[in-house]
Amino acid sequence: MSRRACCLLAFALLFSFSASALAADQWSSPYPGVRYLERTTSEPNRIHAVEVDLCATGVTTTATKPADRGMRTSSFAQQYGAQVAINGGFYNTSNYAPIGLTMGEGELWQDSGDGSSFGFVAFGEENEVALSVPSAVVSSPESWMHNIIAGRPLIVENGQVVQNACSSHWCQRHPRTAVGLDSTGRKLILAVVDGRWSGVSRGMTTAELGQLMVDLGAERALNLDGGGSTTMYVAGEGGVVNNPSDGSERSVSNHLGLLAGGATDYAHCCIPEAKDGATGTFGDVPDNSWYYDVAETLYAEGVTNGCQASPRMFCPSCDLDRRHAAIFMARALGLSPLSPAQATFEDVPVGSVGFGEIEALHAAGYVNGCSQQPKQFCPDEWLNRATAAVMITSAMGVSPTEPTSPVFTDVATDAWYRNHVEFLHEACVVNGCSQSPMEYCPADIVTRVEFGTMLVRALEMGSFDNCLPDDGGGDDVGGGSDVGGSDDVGMPSDTGGTSDTGGTPGDVGGVADSGGAGDVGGGTADVDQGGDLGEGGGNYVSASGGCNCRAVPGAGGGTTAWMLGLVLALGIGRLNRRRRC
């Protein structure tokens, strides 16, 4: 079971195939992160398999919503925008009701449920994935689960073929469909075997199918609906690649789809890695790590469930894209996902991962996208530190003004993000990527822990206030910098234009960025008078006396109160979860 330590990953996979399987193998790579195999064997059998790097940029999953039951696999793929699709689980042929726990795009099929005869594979919005065995019956899906397909029997466990009793045709050769995961949980394996095709493909027993999945690298695998339902669709290979035994595609209850057409880059794939001394929520966050409290707070506040479900991992060093940064931010702000019938951003379609959160952020005036014509959000582009600063100030409900005492030597005076970056430094949210010289590294990519750290400090979540301890390190991530050494560069769309990535008033949060009545979300105008906080015109002092931040300049210049102070004092509007230092 899993989700997305940041490792640049090359999946150089070694397969050990049986001699009979090597009649003919043809591999292709129709999409980044996706490999397609067409195999003929001497039995004879015709096999089609897809291996998916779940870490690859732009790769995500989808499954059939209850209202769309009874579609052909190719029709499902085309309607949902999937580049790869297979038929799903078993079902009642009279009404297409699935047998076993089933969910599509966050919608639980009301006529489905888990049982001791069925397992399931579940996927989350952040590419979490879990393959549950039949014996592990659950009463309801976990909160992170977004797409679920049920099946039976379990055919591979711990990398070994499961020998099932000869019931329900398990020991007969038929067309088959299977889904599996490798030992890392990062490689998804989909396979179909044609059958009932005399002299060409005889089909497989579930044990033979299990051996195929082991050969393909599966640590655990599950049999799905087969027979005439068995279908695999790969758009980049011409559509339906196998030969359904009915002579044409069968309409089936549900389907599993893979969206991979937007993948462009492998560079930011990471694998969860357990760490010694981690006894808290996450197995890769040691108790003595500087970010332990950050990770625990993000989990407790419902911002993230981690990057892997079991054992639970946080993946602190994994790079963050704009889609998942938006998910983090919406959850941190307590916004409920929205489901408008018409998508605001053409590259974040209805039902896609993060759709509800991005729509909620836009409706509340926090984000406005990376492009206005066409209206786009650029969800799969990596989030750099410049844009992260703009998003964080938007979350804080402020529109920063010209800094009186700028500190960062690598932030140009005319940079569109300058006021945001300098404001966050004044507010003790960030301290830069280097102390000598004082630099911010605006083009570097933000990791999960870095953006999380910014959020908990800016919004003073959990036990955090927005004053940094004076620990002598001078950084906001405990490792000498904000960024942990990332040397990745930002994306072109983050460098200007009418969007939340640069340039114009209101482009980051609409009303929230434009000043005046909307800045604090509760109808209160900007606060720029020194006495409103009651402590030296807005100076922030930590309980330990360790934070030596200067006062935040206000609209009128000089030392004035942070306009946020009044909101914090009154506890009103969208910022009422923060406290003063």
Model confidence over 139-178: pLDDT tens digits?
Answer: 999 878 999 999 999 999 999 999 998 877 899 999 999 9
3-class DSSP assignment, residue 492: helix
Please indicate whether residue 500 or residue 11 has the higher confidence score (pLDDT): 500
Domain boundary among 399, 425, 460: 460
Residue 183 near residue 159 (C-beta atoms within 8 A) = yes
- In the sheet with 154-157, reading across from the earlier edge strand, the strands are 24-31, 34-41, 45-53, 187-193, 176-181, 220-223, 154-157, 160-161
Strands (E), 92-182: 103-104, 107-108, 119-124, 129-132, 145-151, 154-157, 160-161, 176-181
Kindly indicate the confidence band of residue 120, based on its pLDDT and cuts at 50, 70 and 90.
very high
Say whether both 316 and 372 belong to one domain: yes
Say whether both 322 and 405 belong to one domain: yes
Q: Is the pLDDT of residue 488 over 60?
A: no
pLDDT at 262: 60
pLDDT at 269: 53
Residue 117 near residue 42 (C-beta atoms within 8 A) = no
pLDDT in tens, 227-244: 999 999 999 999 999 999
pLDDT in tens, 399-433: 999 998 999 999 999 999 999 999 999 999 998 99
Q: Is the pLDDT of residue 512 over 80?
A: no
Say whether both 253 and 354 belong to one domain: no
281 assigned to some structural domain: no
Residue 388 near residue 453 (C-beta atoms within 8 A) = no
Residue 372 near residue 394 (C-beta atoms within 8 A) = no
393 assigned to some structural domain: yes
Q: Is the pLDDT of residue 119 over 80?
A: yes
As a whole number of angstroms, the distance between CA 142 and CA 567 comes to 35
Kindly indicate the confidence band of residue 48, based on its pLDDT and cuts at 50, 70 and 90.
very high
Q: What's at 425, amino acid-wise? A: H
Q: Which residue, among 81, 87, 372, has the nearest Cα to 225 in the 3D structure? A: 87
Kindly indicate the confidence band of residue 126, based on its pLDDT and cuts at 50, 70 and 90.
low
Say whether both 173 and 305 belong to one domain: no
Please indicate whether residue 84 or residue 436 has the higher confidence score (pLDDT): 84
Kindly indicate the confidence band of residue 527, based on its pLDDT and cuts at 50, 70 and 90.
very low
Q: Which residue, among 548, 544, 543, 328, has the nearest Cα to 450 in the 3D structure? A: 328
Say whether both 245 and 316 belong to one domain: no
213 assigned to some structural domain: yes
pLDDT in tens, 15-36: 333 434 455 899 999 998 899 9
Domain boundary among 412, 437, 460: 460
Say whether both 104 and 251 belong to one domain: yes
270 assigned to some structural domain: no
pLDDT at 483: 34
pLDDT at 491: 26
Domain boundary among 434, 460, 486: 460
Kindly indicate the confidence band of residue 357, based on its pLDDT and cuts at 50, 70 and 90.
very high
Kindly indicate the confidence band of residue 318, based on its pLDDT and cuts at 50, 70 and 90.
confident
Kindly indicate the confidence band of residue 479, based on its pLDDT and cuts at 50, 70 and 90.
very low
C-alpha distance from residue 176 to each of 218, 284, 514 (Å): 16, 38, 58
3-class DSSP assignment, residue 43: coil
pLDDT at 55: 78
Q: What's at 200, amino acid-wise? A: V
82 assigned to some structural domain: yes
Kindly indicate the confidence band of residue 94, based on its pLDDT and cuts at 50, 70 and 90.
very high
Percent residues over pLDDT 90 in the chain: 63
Q: Is 520 exposed, middle or buried (0-12, 13-18, 19+ CB in 10 A)?
A: buried
Please indicate whether residue 578 or residue 326 has the higher confidence score (pLDDT): 326
pLDDT in tens, 207-227: 999 999 999 999 999 999 999
Mean pLDDT, the chain, rounded, equals 78
pLDDT at 463: 65
Percent residues over pLDDT 70 in the chain: 73
Say whether both 215 and 302 belong to one domain: no
Please indicate whether residue 456 or residue 272 has the higher confidence score (pLDDT): 456
484 assigned to some structural domain: no
C-alpha distance from residue 344 to each of 79, 348, 353 (Å): 19, 8, 14
Residue 532 near residue 566 (C-beta atoms within 8 A) = yes
Say whether both 304 and 188 belong to one domain: no
The CA R_g of the chain, rounded to the nearest whole Å, is 26
Q: Is the pLDDT of residue 489 over 50?
A: no
Say whether both 153 and 46 belong to one domain: yes
pLDDT at 380: 78
pLDDT at 549: 31
479 assigned to some structural domain: no
Q: Is the pLDDT of residue 375 over 50?
A: yes
Range of the domain at 217: 24-259
Say whether both 114 and 239 belong to one domain: yes
- How many domains does the chain divide into? 2
Say whether both 84 and 185 belong to one domain: yes
Say whether both 114 and 208 belong to one domain: yes
Kindly indicate the confidence band of residue 291, based on its pLDDT and cuts at 50, 70 and 90.
very high
576 assigned to some structural domain: no
Q: 60-63 and 176-181 as β-strands: parallel, antiparallel, unpaired?
A: unpaired
Region 320-335 average pLDDT: 95
As a whole number of angstroms, the distance between CA 371 and CA 401 comes to 24
Tally Cβ neighbours within 10 Å of residue 166: 12
Q: Is the pLDDT of residue 530 over 60?
A: no
